Amino acid sequence: AQRVTQVQPTGSSQWGEEVTLDCSYETSEYFYRIFWYRQLFSGEMVFLIYQPSFDTQNQRSGRYSVVFQKSFKSISLVISASQPEDSGTYFCALSELISGTYQRFGTGTKLQVVP
Amino acid sequence: EAAVTQSPRNKVAVTGGKVTLSCNQTNNHNNMYWYRQDTGHGLRLIHYSYGAGSTEKGDIPDGYKASRPSQENFSLILELATPSQTSVYFCASGEAGTYEQYFGPGTRLTVL
């Protein structure tokens, strides 16, 4: 069964716009984290930001932030002032403390930012 | 300087042949992971390890074996490769007790 779902297979944005990418997940654990990665066209996975389950504050890192709706088991990645170099495929991943440190990934959202 | 490296970066194998994918990390992390990435599936966990000498099955271990001979090295072995194992394989490492993982560049495997 899919534990992490990204329902948007593709997305687009114009330069300077704010972009929101959605992710939902299934877990019965109290302690977990949600990670966001961007995969470059080269295949390299780049870590962007993570949200711990116990933190009610939405995390921010540079132009990246998240909107964490714990009760809905939903999290969105927000990219402010998008740029063409933000193009790539974005993955969210769930890591549950009880299952160790491995991560379960969604299927990704391919984002294109056009000038 | 890359902390997680994979070799080979590209591999073409024949059906029924044996394939070994290697991963080396200089992070001194206890945990290492093998994923495969296919269109429509994202990354899926094949095997992982908590340290030298240990291997554990992930979500899709069938057809794969793993070996962790040292802290730094973690191999994925396909004893009898099949075309369904054509994919991009990623290795990652992570510190025990934390959640973060650091990925290698990936290996593109084609089984003909």
A2 pLDDT more than 70: no
The better pLDDT of the pair B38, A99 is held by B38
* Average pLDDT score over residue span A43-57: 91
d(CA B7, CA B104): 10
pLDDT band at A107 (very low <50, low <70, confident <90, very high): very high
Cα→Cα distances A86→A19, A46, A47, A110, A115, Å: 10, 11, 13, 10, 11
Ranking A5-14, A96-105, B20-29, B81-90 by mean pLDDT, the lowest is: A96-105
Contacts of A97 in chain B (CB under 8 A): 99
The better pLDDT of the pair A40, A65 is held by A65
Mean pLDDT of chain A: 91
**What does pLDDT average to in each consecutive run of 10 residues of chain B (112 residues)?**
88 97 95 92 91 93 97 97 97 81 94 96
A84 pLDDT more than 80: yes
pLDDT band at A96 (very low <50, low <70, confident <90, very high): confident
A82 pLDDT more than 80: yes
**pLDDT cut 70: percent of chain A above it:** 95
Interface test with A, best of B38, B43, B100 (most A CBs within 10 A): B43
Contacts of A91 in chain B (CB under 8 A): 42-43
* Average pLDDT score over residue span A43-71: 94
d(CA B5, CA B48): 16
Assess contact for B110 and B17: CB atoms under 8 A: no
Work out the minimum CA distance from A104 to partner chain B, whole angstroms. Answer: 7
Least CA distance to B88: which residue of chain A?
Answer: A43
Beta bridge partners of A64: A61, A79
